[in-house]
Homo-oligomer: A and B are copies of this chain.
Amino acid sequence: MAYSQRVREILSWYPSDNPGTLTNIAKLLNTGTLAGTGKMVILPVDQGFEHGPARSFAPNPQGYDPDYHAQLAIESGCNAYAAPLGFMEAVAGKLAGEIPLILKVNNSDTLAKVDQPCSALTSSVKDAVRLGCTAIGYTIYPGSGARNTQYQMLSELIAQAKEYGLPSVVWAYPRGSGLSKAGETAVDIAAYAAQIAAQLGAHIIKVKPPTSHVEQPEAQKVFDKYSIPKGNLAECVRHVVQSAFNGKRIVIFSGGEAKDTQALLDDVRQIAKGGGMGSIMGRNAFQRPKAEALSLLKEVMNIFRS
């Protein structure tokens, strides 16, 4: 398959990566409905671990079954399917590469009270290789007092993944005693988190849609002095994308909490307008009946394609 101009351009942002890793970035970009556009929609299903099974799957009980999600991702034309080890084990041997898989190698649950937010390492790069995955995924919590542990672990995982030709997708979720609740999605913090993920070597960065709130007083001064636009979601997205190496890293956005279809699509339009390179859409997809989910994902992809 001849690569599109845009895919070639994106690959040029990673001049120091080995051919194996570039090949797998290209695979993510050249799969599904958005193949070749430089945009991505990914189906992630780690909510069973993060929020518990009933909260995640009772709205659409087909979701209890790991086979369901992989099929949903394939049928909807997603670029990739992301999940923790167990869900991957349950499908990888059957799929044998039918869709790119992103092994989410760390996870949190909501059962334990942990001092400083820090996900548990739940699988490894070698697991990803063994399961035929195309990339690994890892969550960092910038703002956590356990920052050093997470950054160092991610740094080692990224280096190891590269040796196997696997790119890394980083969930950059600001959280911890250093931040207010509003600060977790503040535009300055979202941009800072994207910067950190990029500096740590992430190939693809996943953030939440940023709000206009500015958390850090020092950042507020700069936003004021240089009149950085942040009046709507598109402008906030633009600042975040700019903060990821002037847009030279793939930045995608989550849909946030489950919401109604129009609100969701409005957000996606703003994200696309602001330069966001895609969406990662979990609960909003798999908690709907399958037909609705397929329809929604199609619309999302249409927005990014246009």
Chain A residues in the interface with B (C-beta under 8 A): 13-17, 48-49, 51-55, 58-59, 61, 64-66, 84-94, 107, 109-115, 118-124, 126-127, 130-131, 142-145, 147-148, 150-152, 155-156, 159, 174, 176-179, 188-189, 191-196, 198-202, 216, 218-219, 222-223, 225-226, 228, 239, 242-243, 245-246, 248-249
Contacts and interface: CB of A to CB of B under 8 A. Distances in A.
Contacts of A65: 245-246, 248
Contacts of A88: 16
A199 B142 contact: no
Given A118-B148, A155-B124, A195 B53 contact: yes
Contacts of A130: 16
B54 A111 contact: no
B192 A111 contact: yes
What is the total number of copies of this protein in its complex? Answer: 5
Contact of A145 (B114, B193, B199, B222): B114
Given A86-B199, A152-B122, A222 B113 contact: no
B123 A201 contact: yes
Identify the interface centre among A14, A52, A189, A242: most chain B CB within 10 Å of its CB: A52
Contacts of A109: 142, 147, 192, 196
15 contacts: A16-B93, A17-B89, A53-B194, A64-B246, A65-B245, A66-B246, A87-B245, A107-B199, A109-B142, A110-B216, A111-B147, A115-B145, A118-B148, A120-B151, A121-B151
Contact of A120 (B123, B148, B225): B148
A293 to B, nearest CB: 17
Contacts of A64: 242-243, 245-246
Q: Taking each of A16, A92, A147, which has the highest tally of chain B beta carbons within 10 Å of its own beta carbon?
A: A16
Most buried by B among A53, A89, A114, A194: A53
A216 B122 contact: no
Contacts of A111: 142-143, 147, 174, 176, 178-179, 189, 192-193, 196
Contacts of A89: 14-17, 201
